[in-house]
Amino acid sequence: MDIRIQQLQKLYQDKPALENINLVLQPGSFTAIVGPSGCGKTTLIRALAGLVPINGGSIIYGEEDVTDLPPQHRQTAMVFQNYALWPHMTVFENVAYGLKLRKLAKAEIEQKVMSILEKVEIDTSDLKKRHPQQYSGGQQQRIALARALVLEPKLLLLDEPLSNLDAKVRQRLRVEIRRIQQDLGITAVYVTHDQEEALSMADQVVVMNKGRIEQAGTPEEVYRRPASYFVAHFLGNSNTLEVIRKDGDYRVGGQSFKMAEWLDIKGENLQLVVRGEEVKCSFDQPSMTGHLTFAGRLRESLFVGSGYRHWIEIEGQNLFIESDSKLQGTGSCYVHLPINQCFLFAKQTDKEAREIEA
């Protein structure tokens, strides 16, 4: 059963928090929603859960329109950043709660609770005595995940579930959440601030900006073929070079280059975006096949732990390169940008650029 989100709108005091959201969730797929603070991620996931009333559009599960159903009848389950476990209940009672409401037989509840807690790798020996606060943050989030999964929801919603945990636990739980989601074949939507988390976990990544979807696609698509300047900048560590086009000639300052494929982009003032990890530098190689080459000057090299970050000036503009090793040279150099990793867009207005930088 696929889930279709059509023309979803949400206003807060006449200000749009979601505008024209269209999205398809394939059965058993994992969709990650990313975007800057305030772009509408939480509003979207809460709207899917029925926790936020919407102003327009529809949510369809297979053939069933669930738009007007209350949360408890949508067959969704949600996992929150702060776990939201009930402290006065034991771990067993927390996980069993939803099943009790459904009036399942005691033996069936017991079997389902134990089985799901084993799946999320919580020791089941002491569950009827221990309370959630006796567990670590990572374990509490596993319990919260079990509480959601035990209901066998059609759609599992996760709102920044790993943000409160330290880096090591986060890395481990990322892999486990993905494994469990795939084992159970459950459709999931996952909100995160962490782009690495989104790219590494998801089948589909949705990049949001100002209440709208900028791009939705596989992790490779959104990273390697960004549809807008915003997406190119939001994902990865990107450089921007200002480009002027006149009479089919493209210039970065005084240096010109030819690019037939980009002729469909309108305007004279353009911006070329390229990720720091894609750029190469040499001191004696004035061209490289499949690359745009500019003459520049190496200004600074910084050791950043995982490698080096080199700052290079090209025609008064600064560009950084990320590399594993030190550059063997100083001063004048050549900078090589792989053509298939250069993205050209119409120049952003100052206001748009400021919003992206923020």
User: Which residues make up the interface to ligand ATP (CB under 6 A)?
Assistant: 12, 17, 35, 37-43
CA distance 301 to 320: 9
State which residue, 12 or 86, has the beta carbon closest to ligand ATP.
12
State which residue, 41 or 112, has the beta carbon closest to ligand ATP.
41
Q: Are 71 and 78 in contact (CB under 8 A)?
A: no
State which residue, 40 or 236, has the beta carbon closest to ligand ATP.
40
**β-pair partners for 241:** 272
Length of the chain: 358
State which residue, 246 or 351, has the beta carbon closest to ligand ATP.
351
Q: What's the min distance (Å) between Cβ of 191 and ligand ATP?
A: 7
* Two structure tokens written together for 40: 């509408």
Q: What's the min distance (Å) between Cβ of 319 and ligand ATP?
A: 30
* Two structure tokens written together for 69: 């159903």
State which residue, 46 or 154, has the beta carbon closest to ligand ATP.
46
Q: What's the min distance (Å) between Cβ of 17 and ligand ATP?
A: 4
Burial of residue 309, with CB atoms counted within 10 A of its CB: 0-12 exposed, 13-18 middle, 19 or more buried: middle
Q: What's the min distance (Å) between Cβ of 15 and ligand ATP?
A: 7
How far CA 225 is from CA of 33, 292, 341, 346, in Å, comes to 17, 18, 8, 16
Q: Are 75 and 155 in contact (CB under 8 A)?
A: yes
DSSP codes joined into one string, 231-270: HHHHSS-EEEEEEEEETTEEEETTEEE--GGGGGS-SSEE
Q: What's the min distance (Å) between Cβ of 146 and ligand ATP?
A: 25
Q: What's the min distance (Å) between Cβ of 8 and ligand ATP?
A: 12
State which residue, 91 or 208, has the beta carbon closest to ligand ATP.
208
